[in-house]
Amino acid sequence: MRVLGIETSCDETAASVVALDGASAPEILSPKILSNVVLSQIEEHAAFGGVVPEIAARAHVEALDGIVEAALADSSVSLDEVDAIAATAGPGLVGGLIVGLMTAKAIAAAANKPLIAINHLEGHALTARLTDGLDFPYLLLLVSGGHTQIVAVRGVGDYQRWATTIDDALGEAFDKTAKMLGLPYPGGPNVEKAAAGGNAGRFAFPRPMKGSAQPDFSFSGLKTAVRQAATAIAPLSDQDVADICASFQAAVADALGDRVGRALARFRQEFPNQAKPALVVAGGVAANRTIKATLEALCSEAGFAFVAPPQKLCTDNAAMIAWAGIERLRAGIADENTADFVPRSRWPLDSVSAPLVGSGRRGAKA
Ligand code: KG4
Ligand code: ZN
């Protein structure tokens, strides 16, 4: 089984071919990423301190043909030899989604192949099966620039959202903090770098939602606290910036640990027969070492395996989209969303959990 995947929901233009050997035993997954081409638009957006939707859409139009060609060439698979075209159809910036999905539809029509419209979040949710062959069910923490969610992944197409942010996404909080402190875009890695030389105990920032029975996240109050602290001691020296970053990061890790700890306990209750349950992290923020270390410690204490796919497959890419296409083909549900599917800028993974009022809808990909 070979699937060509296309991803254009935010600021990466990506295409990939993933194969699953039909000869391997069905219970053992041994997929191969034959190509994985990702073109980041960071430079186009850096001057604006964030992703500009219109610039992103235009950049996708310019780059996508070449990226798809490169992905096919790298994989040594011809279009004739793929079984289906899978493309991200949401959630995300609608301009980019239109570019990717329409291109995929055109390729599928010309090559007479089925099209599979994929939910971007499903791509993130299933990546751990592509990289680690993980069995269902498992728990997913998705922390990116547009999303902050805890999802129980029970099967292909069977997801239950247990928590989401009621305001900003975590990556967005990192990016806004960086902007406030005059650090370059993208903010997350720069906040982490600055924090390395800072005193995490200097500022007692709030730990949003910590201790609350409600499982959700909130980061906008923390952002306000950072702004107030920075304003109070302005102008900021490099050491002040480092101390604020370190204190912010510590608050985030602490709050996240509390929220995830609750989800681990719930997972134990709901899936008591899982001998070795697993927590999977995905999204750009998962690159943060302080956050990773906090989650790792939490998992080892709770008897959970901690699974962090390689960073290249944690951030936006098309291999996860191609893989989601393969999973849907194998599960016999590839024809749920086909050639007449219309891009959806909002498309919850779990249609049962009602959206929270104002929940995480301010980010580029919200
Ligand atoms: O998954 P991703 O590449 O794209 C989205 O789907 O949003 O995540 C990007 C987000 C940005 O907000 C970026 O600042 C954040 O991930 N990020 C980090 C780090 N590296 C990237 N946040 C904290 N620490 C990092 N080292
Ligand atoms: Zn993403």
Ligand 1 atom index nearest CA of 282:
1
144 is in an annotated binding site: yes
> Cα dist. 217→113, 179, 224, 356, 357 in Å?
41, 22, 15, 11, 13
**% of the chain with per-residue pLDDT over 70:** 95
45 is in an annotated binding site: no
Helix (H) or strand (E) holding 320: helix 319-331
Q: What is the pLDDT, as a whole number, of residue 46?
A: 85
Distance CA 195, CA 175 (A): 14
**% of the chain with per-residue pLDDT over 90:** 83
120 is in an annotated binding site: yes
- pLDDT tens digits for 203-232? 999 999 999 988 899 999 999 999 999 999
Q: Is the pLDDT of residue 50 over 70?
A: yes
Pocket-testing residue among 285, 289, 311, ligand 1, by greatest number of atoms within 8 A of Cβ: 285
Q: pTM of this prediction? A: 0.92
- pLDDT tens digits for 102-128? 999 999 999 999 999 999 999 999 999
- pLDDT tens digits for 297-309? 999 999 999 999 9
Ligand nearest to the CA of 88: 2
Ligand 1, CB cutoff 6 Å, lining residues: 10, 144-146, 171, 174-175, 186-189, 192, 283-285, 287-288, 315-316, 365
Average pLDDT for 324-341? 94
At 238, the pLDDT band (50, 70, 90 cuts) reads: very high
Query: DSSP letters along 155-185, please?
Result: ETTEEEEEEEBSS--HHHHHHHHHHHTTPPS
Which tokens hold the place of 319?
């291999």
Ligand nearest to the CA of 188: 1
